[in-house]
Structure 1
Amino acid sequence: MIDLQGASSSPAISCYLFLPLLFLSLTYLALKSTTSGGRRGRKLPPSPPWGLPIVGHSGLMKPPIHRTLHALAQRHGPIFSLRLGTRLAVVVSSASLAEECFTKNDVAFANRPRLTMAKHIHYNYTTMTHAPYGGHWRNLRRIGSLEIFSAHRLNASLPIRRDEVRRLVAKLARRSDGGAAVVDMKSAFQELTFDTMMRMVAGKRFYGDDDEARGFREVIKEVVSRGGATNRADFGAVLRWIDGGKLERTAREVAGRTDSFLQKLIEEHRSEKKEGLEKRNTMIDHLLALQESEPEYYSDQIIKGLVLVSAL
């Protein structure tokens, strides 16, 4: 027998009693959440025969990931499933199967997983890249195809693209100074793409040395780095409990800074129009003009979401 009264006065014995109970409780919650959501009875593609409590097959995901997935495909076939925490993932490595997923079954694969960073940064899953399939998503796609990426809008921005290419060529020429020079072309093309897009969207470049440019680059860099499916707290209730709300707080903070910057851009263009300044014919100007006639389709939040997706 164990003297519970005596054990309570002994930290070592209390620890021995508490840790096994904690482990059993976490394992139970993990297994319960894994089998929830109507997965019982569903016919799933084959999967690796083992999976750990709480983390599932996450332990198999070792870099380089593409080689790991290739090895699993060789073992389990061109389509197989993985349990990443409490989330189910299906891996397709066959071109014909991938075509079938995005043609015959495109609606079934239209939605993206609801992750914490996407919830806050992408306005509660309402941007074009994270909105669930439905009327709102179709409206965003209509706006994108007709008002942003149409042939007319792209032709109107042709001078911007030409000017940015000239700037890049001139910059490379200055660095070489008539001789050979080592140039990081990856960074150069990233700068070219980003500045071209932001001039089309907002009418100004953001790869300068001023505080605004640096601030925006930092915001976009953080959104990109934190926006992927790499946050463990998104893969199960137990992992969220272990995280202690850290991911949620970080997401709110990054989303707040991102929204403030995007709203500032909109207000700048709105103010220029009120002051009668020359229109810059940017994406923001165009969307604000449409907002006057169709405010329900072109709210500030929708415009900010479109700008964010374009910048990313």
Structure 2
Amino acid sequence: LHNCTSIPINFMHMEFDLLLFSPIEAIAALLTLAFTIYFFLPTKKSPKPPLPPEIAGGWPVIGHLFYFDNDGDDRPLARKLSDLADEYGPVFTFRLGLPRVLVISSYDAVKDCYSKNDAVFANRPACLYGEYLGYNNAVLFLANYGPYWRNIRKLVIQEVLSNTRLEKLKQIKLCKIRNNIKNLPSRIQTTEEKSVRNLTYWLEELTFGLIVQMIAGKNYESGGDVGGEMERFKEAFRKFLVLSMEFVLWDAFPIPLFKWIDFQGHVKLMKKTFKDIDSIFQRWLDEHVKTRETSLMEVNGGGNERDFIDVMLSKMSNEHLHKGYSRDTVIKATVFQTQFLFI
């Protein structure tokens, strides 16, 4: 009788133990159920428009990443894309991980994309260097199409690329080039510095000097290079160019894990490079704000602006936010964008 009564008690304990799933088992069961519903239950799918041809050789998930690996293939990227256009036509696609890339190489296709559908193609895909180096996509060439993009583009066109501004910049360029060429013989005789012995370095120094003078009104050749600021700016700019061309795992596989865990170390380098660039831009901006507060320069416009930062300060108020960005952030991001226009 004792054995008969103990059987159902043990059986009840066994049933209770089976109902105690571990968290991992519960998650696995939910994922299995979700995949089963998604893949096996019939759903009504809307017809998709026909896509341009995709190049052959794509792998699941990773796409065509191996095709663009330079291992054993020294062709430049432009030559590879040109050869693919000869094979697949002027419009084709490939996959860099999960994102799909569209390549166009004919006048009609370019006109269709950038004239008839320019608003559609104005948006930019999310990328890590835009978040960590581009002031959280406040830089014009990284911002998505919208009021912010239109306002900053209008400002750059009117104040940087207008005929009046270009004529002023032309005079600055000519004066800078003449002075550098005029001082070159004396520098050769009195010093053996690297910038004189290496013509490439001398041209680089001249180019960066022009950019900084047009943007911030600073002339490093006349004793304005405080604490080696010019060299730090050039080094930070070089690092940005290198990082912007690096393959970042998150850009190909936009999974939060690859942003939180920096497998390649790129996020750490981006943050450090941004800190170096931003500190220089912030110093230029603070100097201009202080100068405008202590001088008779008109804050709300007029013809007294000396450089691009002065123009930006005269067009923006300190209280107004642009798409959630502060005035200082917008100015520094636009300065960052403008230096590419001056190269």
TM bucket, shorter chain: 0.7 to 0.9
Please, what is the CA RMSD of the aligned residues? 3.4
Query: Which residue is equivalent to 1:213?
Result: 230
| Residue in 1 that maps onto 2:57 | 50
Query: Corresponding residue for 1:196?
Result: 210
Larger radius of gyration: 2
Q: Distance in 1 between matches of 2:328 and 2:120?
A: 30
Q: Does the alignment pair 1:305 with 2:333?
A: yes
Gaps (5+ residues) in structure 2? 1-34, 40-44, 190-195, 298-303
8 A Cα contact 1:201 1:282, kept in partner: yes
Matched AA of 2:156: G
Please point out which of 126, 130, 133 is paired with 2:145.
133
User: Is this contact kept in 2: 1:129–1:309, CA < 8 A?
Assistant: yes
How far, CA to CA, are the matches of 1:307 and 1:240 in structure 2? 32
Secondary structure at the counterpart of residue 90 of structure 1: strand
What are the Cα deviations for residues 187-227 of structure 1, in whole angstroms up to 9, with x where unaligned? 55444333222211101246869511111111111112212
Query: Amino acid of the residue matched to residue 269 of structure 2?
Result: T
The reply to whether residue 283 of structure 1 matches residue 308 of structure 2 is yes
TM-score by length of 2: 0.69
Which residue is 2:248 aligned to?
231
Shift of 1:270: 1.3
Superposition TM-score, scaled by structure 1 size:
0.75
Do residues 60 (structure 1) and 90 (structure 2) align?
no
Aligned to 1:12: none
Work out the CA distance in 2 between the residues paired with 1:40 and 1:198. Answer: 53
**Aligned residue runs from structure 1 range 27-42, under 5 A:** 41-42=48-49
Count of aligned residue pairs for this structure pair: 273
Counterpart of 2:32 in structure 1 is: none
The answer to whether the 8 Å contact 1:120/1:252 transfers is yes
Offset of residue 46 of structure 1: 0.8
Q: Could you tell me how far apart the structure 2 residues matched to 1:74 and 1:185 are?
A: 40
| Distance (whole Å) between structure 2 residues aligned to residue 159 and residue 189 of structure 1 | 18
Counterpart of 2:159 in structure 1 is 147
Q: Which amino acid aligns with 1:202?
A: A
User: CA 1:240–1:167 in 2, change beyond 3 Å: closer, same or farther?
Assistant: farther
Distance in 2, Cα, partners of 1:292 & 1:211: 32
How far has the Cα of 1:149 moved from its partner? Answer: 2.4
TM-fit CA distance, 1:267? 0.3
Could you tell me which runs of 5 or more consecutive residues in structure 1 were left unpaired when the two chains were aligned. Answer: 1-27, 33-37
1:151, distance to aligned residue in structure 2 (A): 2.0
Q: State the shift of 1:184 in Å.
A: 6.5
State the 1:143 CA deviation. 0.9
- Per-residue CA deviation, residues 62-98 of structure 1 (Å, 9 max, x unaligned), is 3421222122122211111001101100111223322
Task: State the distance in 2 between where 1:220 and 1:104 align.
Answer: 36
CA displacement 1:115-164 (0-9 Å, x = unmatched): 10111221211221111001110000111122232222222333311112
User: Retained in 2: the 8 A contact 1:116–1:247?
Assistant: no
Amino acid aligned to 1:192 = L
Distance 1:149 1:212 in 2: 27
SS in structure 2 opposite 1:109?
A: coil
- In structure 2, what is the equivalent of residue 94 of structure 1? 106
